[in-house]
Structure 1
Amino acid sequence: MSASAELRELLLDRIADVPDYPEPGVVFKDITPLLADPTAFRALTGAFVDLCARLRVDKVVGLEARGFILAAPVAVAAGIGFVPVRKAGKLPRAALGQAYELEYGTAEIEVHADALAPGERVLVIDDVLATGGTADATLQLIRRAGAEAVGVAVLLELGFLGGRQRLEPDLKGAPLEALITV
Structure 2
Amino acid sequence: MDIEKYIRNIADFPKQGIQFKDITPLLANKDASAQCLENLLQLVGGQKIDKVVGIESRGFFFGTLLAQKLNAGFIPIRKPGKLPYTTLKESYQLEYGMDALEIHEDAIKKGDRVLLHDDVLATGGTASAACSLIEKLGGEIVQCNFLIELKGLNGIQKLKKHIVNSLLQY
TM-score > 0.5, shorter chain as reference? yes
The CA deviation at 1:53 is 4.4
Q: Percent same amino acid among aligned pairs?
A: 43
Question: How do 1:25-104 and structure 2 match up within 5 A?
Answer: 25-102=17-94
Q: Aligned AA for 2:74?
A: F
Q: Deviations over 1:35-54 (max 9, x none)?
A: 01111111111122233443
Name the count of aligned residue pairs: 170
1:147 corresponds to which of 132, 139, 143:
139
Does 1:11 find its partner at 2:3?
yes
Work out whether residues 123 and 153 of structure 2, in 8 Å CA contact, stay in contact via their aligned partners in 1: yes
Once the two structures are superposed, what CA deviation does each residue of 1:149-180 show, in whole Å capped at 9, x if it has no partner? 11100000000001011221xxx2x3100111
| Residue among 15, 18, 28 paired with 1:23 | 15
Q: 2:164 aligns with which of 140, 164, 176?
A: 176
Q: Secondary structure at the match of 1:152?
A: strand
Structure 2 contact 120–149 (Cα < 8 Å) conserved: yes
1:89 is displaced (CA, Å) by 1.2
**Does the residue aligned with 2:69 lie in a helix, a strand or coil?**
helix
Instruction: Give the Cα–Cα distance (whole angstroms) in 2 for the partners of residues 32 and 111 of structure 1.
Output: 25
Under a length normalisation based on structure 2, what TM-score does the superposition of the two structures give?
Answer: 0.93
The structure 2 residue matched to 1:157, chosen from 124, 149, 154, is 149
The whole-number CA distance in structure 1 between the counterparts of 2:66 and 2:94 is: 29
Measured in 2, the distance between the counterparts of 1:47 and 1:68 equals: 17
Distance 1:16 1:48 in 2: 19
Q: CA RMSD in A?
A: 1.5
Amino acid at match of 1:134: T
Distance 1:94 1:53 in 2: 34
- TM-score, normalising length from structure 1? 0.87
For 1:178, the aligned partner's letter is S
- Structure 1 gaps of 5+ residues are 1-6
Residues 52 and 78, structure 1, Cα contact 8 Å, conserved in 2? no
Equivalent pair of 1:53/1:78 in contact (CA under 8 Å)? no
Query: Residue type of the partner of 1:176?
Result: V
Structure 2 CA distance for aligned equivalents of residues 28 and 105 of structure 1 = 15
Q: Structure 2: 5+ residue runs without aligned partners?
A: none
